[in-house]
Chains A and B, each alone.
Chain A
């Protein structure tokens, strides 16, 4: 039905409000998406990087190489390496200078399969090597990692909620549009317009408005995400780029959700007509 807006969809109040509401939803969704991806990246970096190491100070008089072999057998430990005196001297030289005359503890570096069990591991190390101390850095990282995981799950939940609310908003806008144009739709129906024609007009209009609103929201989110990425650079090693793919998918995704929601809502309402 090619026509000059027979349903008057271009002039309705809800049609002007909808892009603004969808833009706000898309902004929130983009920030949630950026947060979720950043938390995922941070988590992966910490889990796979140097942070996955735990340092064990073995009791005085214990053979470090033998302690490393025993610790390597513990569940969850990927690798255990005794740190020889020369390497330890290299590590401490910037702060202490020459350490040849200093009494240094024997250390074993553990690399873990995953940081999830780091806190339990401390107890197992103590049981294997009584008197050994486990430095808390790895445990602290494990806690941080758990927090990152929780933040990531929360961000995905927020994103899902935003999609749900946006869908409900489109349903409300569609129903308001239907209510305002009930007479016009009845006339078109009487003239032989099919459900597909009428639903198609609503769906196309709402899809365009929602896609437009989402483009504005995603566009507004990009500089915010770039700023946050720059602020997070010291933690993750480099400034994280905004999730360009996710942001560019947002307008067509919003349009698709609006199109499908409008089709369902309008067709359901039209079924009440003979």
Chain B
């Protein structure tokens, strides 16, 4: 499903690598925590996995495709099979909640009537079926994050990534978002969640990848 072989990522010459010789493999249908201090390389690793950056060196396989060797024109199709939830949500402010969630389906070229029904279903799933035509700015931080989650999963991605999805949420909202991510995992998606919230990791046991200074220092099974 996801395999990294000696992956190195440099953002600029002369700077320390954001990722340094990282190797690991994640099975299809797994749920994995990605942890590490701020600046350890969690976001960089997720950036590679959702194809927002290419490795400087090493071999990267995502959903069975060799990303390190892929042609640029082959990547959009692969990106449509990956969902991502950003820490800063990144909803489009000029679209209402329904259109934000429908966006991946429109990009995929789905029929208008069907995609609106699917988007509404996802918003019901995250508990926001009553806010369809509100603008994101009218929602709380937790609600915005749930809309972002609905957008990430509406196209039923095979790989779901979440970059610190609970960092700006209170405990209740954080648990709600993690529960939704776990539910996606149970429905068959491979899920990778970056978080530095140790309490959450304890409450939802799963394998952990731990990064420090761009290196994978520990990969172990949590009890």
Residues of A within 8 A of B (CB): 1-6, 8, 11, 183-184, 186-194, 197, 271, 274
Q: Is the CB of B107 within 8 A of A188?
A: yes
Task: Tell me whether B72 is interfacial, beta carbon within 8 Å.
Answer: yes
Q: Is the CB of B52 within 8 A of A188?
A: no
Q: Is the CB of A6 within 8 A of B76?
A: no
Known: A192-B77, A192-B79, A274-B51. A8 touches B109 (CB 8 A): no
Interface of chain A, helix or strand or loop or mixed?
loop
Q: Is the CB of B99 within 8 A of A190?
A: no
Bound-complex Cα distance A4 to B102 (A): 10
Q: Is the CB of B104 within 8 A of A192?
A: yes
Known: A184-B92, A191-B79. A274 touches B54 (CB 8 A): yes
Q: Is the CB of A1 within 8 A of B107?
A: yes
Q: Is the CB of A11 within 8 A of B107?
A: no
Bound-complex Cα distance A8 to B100 (A): 12
Bound-complex Cα distance A183 to B102 (A): 18
B145 to chain A, nearest CB (A): 15
Contact indicator per residue, chain B 80-110, by CB within 8 Å of chain A (1) or not (0): 1000100000101011000100111011110
Q: Is the CB of A11 within 8 A of B109?
A: no
Bound-complex Cα distance A4 to B133 (A): 13
Q: Is the CB of B77 within 8 A of A3?
A: no
Known: A3-B99, A6-B99, A274-B72. A190 touches B94 (CB 8 A): no
Bound-complex Cα distance A8 to B92 (A): 9
Closest residue of B by beta carbon distance from A274: B54
Task: Tell me whether B53 is interfacial, beta carbon within 8 Å.
Answer: yes
Known: A6-B99, A187-B92, A274-B72. A193 touches B107 (CB 8 A): yes
Closest residue of B by beta carbon distance from A9: B94
Closest residue of B by beta carbon distance from A8: B94
The number of chain B residues with a CB under 8 A from chain A is 27
Closest residue of A by beta carbon distance from B83: A191
Pick the 9 closest A-B CB pairs, nearest first: A192-B80, A192-B79, A8-B94, A3-B106, A192-B76, A194-B76, A193-B107, A191-B104, A274-B54
Task: Tell me whether B112 is interfacial, beta carbon within 8 Å.
Answer: yes
Q: Which residues of A have CB within 8 Å of B104?
A: 191-192
**A183 contacts which of B51, B78, B84, B90 (Cβ < 8 Å)?**
B90
Residues of B within 8 A of A (CB): 50-54, 72-73, 75-80, 84, 90, 92, 94-95, 99, 102-104, 106-109, 112
Q: Is the CB of B103 within 8 A of A191?
A: yes
Bound-complex Cα distance A192 to B112 (A): 18
Q: Which residues of B have CB within 8 Å of A183?
A: 90
Q: Is the CB of A190 within 8 A of B50?
A: yes
**A187 contacts which of B90, B94, B112 (Cβ < 8 Å)?**
B90
Q: Is the CB of B95 within 8 A of A192?
A: no
Bound-complex Cα distance A91 to B132 (A): 90
Bound-complex Cα distance A197 to B106 (A): 11
Q: Is the CB of A1 within 8 A of B72?
A: no
Q: Which residues of A have CB within 8 Å of B84?
A: 190
Q: Is the CB of B106 within 8 A of A274?
A: no
Q: Which residues of B have CB within 8 Å of A184?
A: 92
B123 to chain A, nearest CB (A): 16
B15 to chain A, nearest CB (A): 18
Q: Which residues of B have CB within 8 Å of A11?
A: 94
**A4 contacts which of B73, B75, B95 (Cβ < 8 Å)?**
B95
Contacts A/B (CB < 8 Å), 6 sampled: A183-B90, A186-B52, A188-B103, A190-B84, A192-B104, A193-B107
Bound-complex Cα distance A77 to B77 (A): 74
Q: Which residues of B have CB within 8 Å of A4?
A: 95, 99
Q: Which residues of A have CB within 8 Å of B54?
A: 274
**A6 contacts which of B51, B72, B79, B92 (Cβ < 8 Å)?**
B92
B8 to chain A, nearest CB (A): 16
Closest residue of A by beta carbon distance from B50: A190
Q: Is the CB of B79 within 8 A of A190?
A: yes
Closest residue of B by beta carbon distance from A188: B107
Q: Which residues of B have CB within 8 Å of A6?
A: 92, 95, 99, 103, 106
Q: Is the CB of A1 within 8 A of B79?
A: no
Bound-complex Cα distance A188 to B90 (A): 11
Bound-complex Cα distance A191 to B83 (A): 8
**A2 contacts which of B72, B75, B106 (Cβ < 8 Å)?**
B106
